[in-house]
Structures are given as structure tokens and as C-alpha cells.
Amino acid sequence: MKSAGKTVLVAMSGGVDSSVAAAVLKEQGFEVVGVTMKIWDCGEEWTGCCGVAGVEDARRVAHHLGIPHYVIDLRDAFEELIIKPFCEAYLEGKTPNPCVLCNKWLKFGELLKKADKLGIQYVATGHYARIEYDGDHQVYLLKKGRDRNKDQSYFLYMLGQEQLRRTIFPVGGMTKSEVRRRARRLGLHIAHKPGSQEICFVPNGNYRDFVIKWSGVVQKPGPILGVDGRVIGEHQGIISYTIGQRRGLGVSAGKPLYVVAIDKARNAVIVGSREDVFCREFLCDEVTFVSGYQPSSMLRGQVRVRYRQPTTWARIIPSGHEAVRVVLDKPKWGVAPGQAAVFYRRDVVIGGGTIRSTVRAGSKEVRHGEKGG
């Protein structure tokens, strides 16, 4: 338990989770300072975390709680560290997760820098995750949130020991319904505010148009190939396709076809049967472990490759610096390069990384993603 009476900087998005987090900490005796990160100009009509309404909601909550509130402008950092790699990954035919990068560089990067400048020891967010200290091994543990339907530990695997030591997740041990009840009891005007369902900087969910507009890259037509290499159609740009996609392929084969892989080097989209989309192993790079130490030998763990997807048991095998090979006990459907793979041991996060390439369940040697696709 981190010490009450200390000052804590709370990232307040204007949503119910971060608002209740600030209220809980104040009730526990912390000196609370609220801060809202201005990260993207989404327009006044957008009600998500980076819109004008979000900033105003956070300001109203802070006033209601009687705590100071500040807005810090991180738009340049957000564009360089989040928007740019997100768009570049999509242009490479990958499936990136910008929330992971945002947590790494902004919420637990820039926020801690701001806390240091203000002489504040702790930072807090409204994430549904938990932190526990294991005294026997003298290590901080990152654990799943109590509400399994809202658990956000998947997005936090990159947190290290120093960050966990200084971080508090006040709602991690609560369910979403408990958070809303607490907000109502406190009289907070955002008690019934819906949660954000989309990536904050793409309000309409149209990633393709956003990436093209931001990058200015003109998409080029290319071949649609069967898994046997035969040309069966033409696509109008690889950015319009994702692994596992069935609709909108523009080809007919007398049976359902799915996107199996995207080959950036050949500007090709590869399609096959539903069975062809199953993956039996994959390589990860940019791997980090919460303990700060990469294991020297194979370990058993559970792996999650998409938020809220069930975990799968696997062998996690070191494969060089910050890299591992993951061999699944059972093939998993729809694994794509660019996704985050997060490793668990029951409810404890071991670590995670970015999927670089995959091996199809029915393939002996072919790896997808090695050449950028």
C-alpha cells in the first residue's frame, strides 16, 4: 500500500474511471493534483478523452472534488510518438496498437516527467489493473483488474519496476458498476458518461482514411494471391485489409475467403480458407518483462494477442535480445504482425512484445510478416 499523505498526480481524461480514481485517493488521505493531457485536436464534437468536452469534464470534476487541475499540451509528442508509428505500421500492412505506445510514452512517460518537475512522488490513472508488492522476491507485480470484463493489464505490459513503484491504480480492485455507483454517490456529473470505444484520434473508426490523410501516401493496386501463389484478383491498396478479414475482398472462389497475410514487399494480399488464418507460432521483438529480467530459458505462460481475447497456453522461448518465439499449445485464429502479445502467469503479467512474424498452423516453413507484411 502506497503511503497516504503523499502527493499524487492523477491523469484525468474527463471519464468516470479517472474521476473516481482521483476521488478515492483524496478519501484515502492523498494530496491529489489532477492533470489532463491535451494530445490531439479531435474537434469540439468529439466526446472522447482528447476532445474539448473531455478537458472541460475533467476540470468540472476537479472543482467538485476541491483539487487543483492543470492541462498540459502534449500534442507534438503524441503526433511523433503515437500517430506516426501507428500510420507507418498500417502502411506496412501491420495491425498496430496505439494504446500500448500511449501508455508507455505519455501516461507513464511524460506524466512521470511532469510529476518529477513538480516534486510529486506518485502518479495514478483510472486503469483497471492492480499493483502488488511481492516482499519475498522484492518485486512489484502487475496484475489483472478485478473486473475481468474491463481488465486493461494487456495495455500495460511495458511498465517496469520503477514505474510500478510510483504508480497507483485506485479502481483496479473495483468493478465498473461499483465505479459508477461511487461516482453517483459523489454527485459527479460524469457518473453515467459512456466509456470511449474507439481509438481517440480516429473518432469515426475509419483507420484507412485517417492514415491516408495523415501520411499523404497514395495507395497502389496489387495482386490478391491464393496461399498457393496463384493470382485470383486485384486489391486497391494493402491498407484496406487486415488479417482475418472476409468481407470486401472483391474476389469469388465458390467458398469463403479470408485474408491470411499481407506482403508489403510484393504489395500483395494473400487469401485462403478460414483454417489458413490459424497461427501455431510467432516471433516477438521489442519484448520487455515486468521484472526487468529476460528469462534465459523457456518458460510456460498464457498469451493474449488481442484485448479481451481469451489467453492461450504457450511456450515462450528466448530468441535473442528483446525477442522471443511463442509456440502455442493450440493454434490461434487471426494473429497479425504489429499486434501486442502479452504474457501472463494466471493473473500476473509477465511481460510482452510486438508480433513481428507468424507461422500458419498448416505451414511448415512459411513465415508471414518478415518482409514488412
Per residue in 291-307, pLDDT (tens digit) is 999 898 999 999 999 99
Residue 364's pLDDT band (cuts 50, 70, 90): very low
Whether 51 has a pLDDT exceeding 70, the answer reads no
The listed CATH number (2.20.28.10, 3.90.850.10, 2.40.30.10, 3.20.20.70) that belongs to domain 276-368: 2.40.30.10
Position 49 scores a pLDDT of 55
Residue 1's pLDDT band (cuts 50, 70, 90): low
Per-residue pLDDT of 266-283, as tens digits, reads 999 999 999 999 999 999
- Which is higher by pLDDT, 308 or 45? 308
For residues 177 and 2, what is the distance between their CA atoms, to the nearest angstrom?
25
Active site annotation includes 200: yes
Position 373 scores a pLDDT of 33
Selection from 44-53, 55-64, 251-260, 362-371 with the highest mean pLDDT:
55-64
For residues 40 and 86, what is the distance between their CA atoms, to the nearest angstrom?
14
Average pLDDT, the chain: 91
Query: Phi and psi (nearest 5°) for 198?
Result: -115, 165
Q: Report the percentage of the chain scoring pLDDT > 70.
A: 92
Query: Phi and psi (nearest 5°) for 110?
Result: -65, -35
For residues 367 and 369, what is the distance between their CA atoms, to the nearest angstrom?
7
92-96, 251-255, 278-282: segment of lowest average pLDDT: 251-255
Domains 7-186 and 219-272 share a fold: no
Choose the catalytic residue: 50, 87, 99, 102: 102
Q: Which is nearest to 21 in space by CA: 205, 226, 231, 174?
A: 174
Average pLDDT over residues 309-323: 94
Position 372 scores a pLDDT of 36
46-50, 90-94, 193-197, 217-221: segment of lowest average pLDDT: 46-50
Position 369 scores a pLDDT of 55
The listed CATH number (2.40.37.20, 2.102.10.10, 2.140.10.30, 2.30.30.280) that belongs to domain 219-272: 2.30.30.280
Position 237 scores a pLDDT of 92
CB atoms within 10 A of CB 26: 17
Average pLDDT over residues 21-36: 97
Position 50 scores a pLDDT of 55
Q: Which is nearest to 135 in space by CA: 1, 28, 8, 4?
A: 1
Residue 343 to residues 67, 141, 144, 263, Cα–Cα distance (Å)? 38, 13, 12, 27
Whether 362 has a pLDDT exceeding 80, the answer reads no
Residue 185 grid coordinates: 454517490
Q: Which is nearest to 352 in space by CA: 175, 99, 8?
A: 99
Active site annotation includes 87: no
Position 365 scores a pLDDT of 41
Whether 187 has a pLDDT exceeding 50, the answer reads yes
Q: Is the Cβ–Cβ distance between 19 and 61 less than 8 Å?
A: yes
Average pLDDT over residues 101-129: 95
Position 341 scores a pLDDT of 98
Give the Cα-Cα-Cα angle 349, 103, 352 (nearest 5 degrees): 30
The listed CATH number (3.40.50.720, 3.40.50.620, 3.40.50.300, 3.10.450.100) that belongs to domain 7-186: 3.40.50.620
Choose the catalytic residue: 99, 200, 279, 284: 200
